[in-house]
Chains A and B, each alone.
Chain A
Amino acid sequence: MLRILLLAFLLCFGLSAETRADGFDDGLHLLGGKFDDVERGVVILAGSGDQRAGAVLAALQDNRLMVVAGDPPSFFIRQADDSLLDAATLQPAGDAAAGAKAVRVNNRIRRAAEAALGTLNLSSPNAAIRRQAADAVFKARDGEALPALEAALAKERDPDVKAVMETARAAIFLANGQGDEAQRLQAVETIGRRGDPDALAMLRNLANDTSASIREAAAASVSSIEMRQSMLARVQDAIYGISLGSVLLLAAIGLAITFGVMGVINMAHGEMVMLGAYTTYVVQTLFVTYLPDAANWSLIAAVPAAFVVGGLAGVILERTVIRFLYGRPLETLLATFGISLILQQAVRSIFGPTNREVTSPSWMSGSFDILDGLTLTSGRLVIIIFCLAVFLGLLAFIRYSRFGLEMRAVTQNRRMAASMGIRTGLVDALTFGLGSGIAGIAGVALSQIDNVSPNLGQGYIIDSFLVVVFGGVGNLWGTLTGAMAIGIANKLLEPFTGAVLGKIILLVLVILFIQKRPRGLFALKGRAIEA
């Protein structure tokens, strides 16, 4: 309230440039005080119209504003390269900045700074910043920003930015009861076009508006948005389902090879995924240390590295343990369970029991709107694409490469393959390595959405087996279908039943389904199943 009054005061009495400069100093000095003072300072800075205010507010918002206590205190802006600028002069700060501490901010201050910056940046030469500013104004819906917004609108040439500004203006009209009836009616329409939950909330608040025509327009708009939203919600659930399905597929696809093709019940599969995630961590650490400029791309480099680590671990595992157990699938379960305990504890001893930090590269952060209010995060999208790429790559590899041919030959008839000159032992080792390597790749993707901890693999092992069995052992298409079906069904159930009950229902459904088709969705037919 205070700041609205203050700003109204400043605006109404059209302060001279002289006092405005004082406003900057007054505002700046307040930033060293308590949160209430800081907030007042922000408002005064925003109203000062001073060139320096923008830089100071941006610094404050990002926690880059430093203060040296004194009377008055002096302020400094920390640059990206950690050098300090004097906030009052915007010149490099000398020794005066010694012992500077960051100005403490909380969410209230950040919000105030964001709103203030929004107003200030409306006239920025950069269209993207103007757009951001208009968004900030839309969010704050402060009546005080209206004059600045109107001025910016009059100048705006970029149609996109202009549309955002118009929406922001409409929001201000509706939220503060400003504007005449025609303008407000127009605003209802503009906001209605937005069609997202924000718009819905705003229009619902108009149910008690004084004007009947506005009430009606708002009500009509509300019901149409509600209908759209409930339809979109199902689409959204389906997209979430595909995203979950692709995570399941990534986790299960390696298993589809080791278990589905080779018949090894590899309980250490989850640990291969975990090794992949830790490889990602190591690769990232190496990049940050030696190639800091390319750190954003370390994830790409982690993919082959994780494949090699997982694959190597797989080959070693196959040569030392599993090859002695062929024909005894249930005993591979026991041995690999032992291996999984060893691997978990080994990772715990080497990296420590706590989570490791794998940062998301900038190209995987954030989200974008597909449709009104329908968002997909970039990270998830990358995972979906990555997962499909791995799947198709694997499919092509098995179908077209010589090794794929030998692999299929050995699976179908080991003796015959051996007499054709295929080194079955080598093929076994490499096949197991391939499955494990793909599990390692899955670890790279999972490091982006889950904990990188020794327990990472445990969370996926049951689901992976279920996906492979549901889809049909020995069939990659079955694994794809199984993963997607389970993922989508899970997400469609979740809004109605909650996460836990949904999962339980799904498990029961899968159990019942297996009764109906004891060999999964895509069962191998003929005598092969008895062999």
Chain B
Amino acid sequence: MISSRMPFASVVVPAVLIAIAILVPILHLSTGTLPTYAVSLFGKYLCYAMLALALDLVWGYCGILSLGHAAFFSLGGYAMGMYLMRQIGSRGVYGDPILPDFMVFLNWKELPWYWWGMDHAWFAFPMIVLVPGALALVFGWLAFRSRVTGVYLSIISQAMTFALLLAFFRNDMGMGGNNGLTDFKEILGFDTGADATRSALFSVTAITLALAYLLCVFVTRSRAGLVIVAIRDAESRARFCGYRVEHYKLFVWTISAMLAGIAGALYVPQVGIINPSEFGTGNSIEAVIWVALGGRGTLWGAIVGAVGVNFVKSWLTNNFPEWWLFALGLMFVLVTLFLPKGIAGLLRLGGIDAFNRKSAAAEAGEARS
């Protein structure tokens, strides 16, 4: 069922994203119909969408259920946070030109080595992909080489996130402990609070998401992409066919982690804080739910799922503060029960029965491994 033509969505999704990347700043800055509040909120949703995209790449296409993507997201966020923190310079409350405020009042005398260079964008921005990428490479190399799969991989990826959460909570780590990094002033010389910067950040996020989407389309449509799907459906068979399964897995896993890192980096200046609770295991699970809800294995489904769930969550926490958890929980249960293919599946329903049957077989195959 592989169609040789470009799928419709791979044109439409980037087109829509670029359209809103242009439209939103216009609506926000010149006409003022969009409040700043909404711009930042949608920017946040798009960051989540990119995280969902990254997760869909490994889970939907390679069958690796990661419960640790929040870790890559947060590491990217921290790299950006460190850059923004250094940009504060002497505008901190203590006016120290080098040390961030939290170091001053905890009596740190000098900047730890891992903060060196983070005041330069040319150094800090590559770190956004390199740090999560490196962690993913090491973790993946260990895990895939020794053929840790399925639930085991999920659980140890969760353990990894939890260990990072605890580590970043420690004040001795020099990352601001529980409070994390906050009170940013400017990014690349622009005031982070200014409306224009907010709009620009939104546009950058939307465009980056479009690019990330295209990258994912490219990866999944490439020859390697075919092997990756083969690995998802029958890992042993792919291995017996002579493919180096762990190399393919490591490749897609690392790309996914880097994408998650970029998502985190774009997220931080828009929400204004990065702290260890972003590593929380609940966050990773929620990201999985966005993907499941949107439709696992369809790239645009992941985007729709992330934006949709978060929009509903924002709306519920405002309008039904006492009841939103019931609604959200019920939504997860009902979608899992009645929409096993997510929103994407719902839109396809009634179309190709054969498709459903085949993918059900694929699911069963995966469940067994």
Contacts and interface: CB of A to CB of B under 8 A. Distances in A.
Q: Is this pair of chains taken from one and the same complex? A: yes
B38 interface: no
A338 B328 contact: yes
Contact of B333 (A265, A339, A514): A339
Contact of A334 (B154, B169, B330, B336): B336
B160 interface: yes
B156 A511 contact: yes
Contact of A516 (B146, B160, B167, B329): B146
B367 A510 contact: no
Given A335-B333, A515-B143, A518-B147, A501 B159 contact: no
Interface stretch (A216-224, A325-333, A407-415, A431-439): A325-333
Given A328-B363, A334-B292, A462-B281, A469 B152 contact: yes
Contact of B368 (A321, A338, A339, A530): A530
Interface residues of B, number: 49
Given A335-B336, A342-B325, A345-B329, A515 B142 contact: yes
B288 interface: yes
Given A462-B158, A500-B169, A514-B152, A324 B337 contact: yes
B331 interface: yes
Interface in A310-347: 321, 324-325, 327-331, 333-335, 337-342, 344-346
A504 B167 contact: yes
A531 to B, nearest CB: 6
B166 A500 contact: yes
Given A331-B292, A507-B162, A500 B170 contact: yes
A116 interface: no
A515 B145 CA distance: 8
A342 B166 CA distance: 27
Contacts of A519: 152
B120 to A, nearest CB: 30
B148 interface: yes
Interface string B336-369: 1100100000000000000000000001100111
B337 A329 contact: no
B336 A338 contact: yes
B134 interface: no
A342 B281 CA distance: 18
Contacts of A345: 323, 325-326, 329
A335 B337 CA distance: 8
B332 interface: yes
A462 B331 contact: no
B146 A518 contact: yes
B159 A349 contact: no
Contacts of A516: 146
Interface in B133-166: 139, 142-143, 145-152, 154-156, 158-160, 162-163, 166
A74 B134 CA distance: 78
A367 to B, nearest CB: 29
B159 A511 contact: yes
B322 A338 contact: no
14 contacts: A321-B337, A329-B150, A329-B367, A333-B288, A334-B289, A335-B333, A335-B336, A338-B330, A345-B323, A466-B159, A500-B170, A516-B146, A518-B147, A518-B149
Q: Which 5 A-B pairs have the closest CB atoms?
A: A338-B332, A341-B329, A342-B329, A345-B325, A507-B163
Interface of A: 259, 265, 267, 321, 324-325, 327-331, 333-335, 337-342, 344-346, 349, 462, 465-466, 469, 473, 500-501, 503-504, 507-508, 510-512, 514-516, 518-520, 530-531
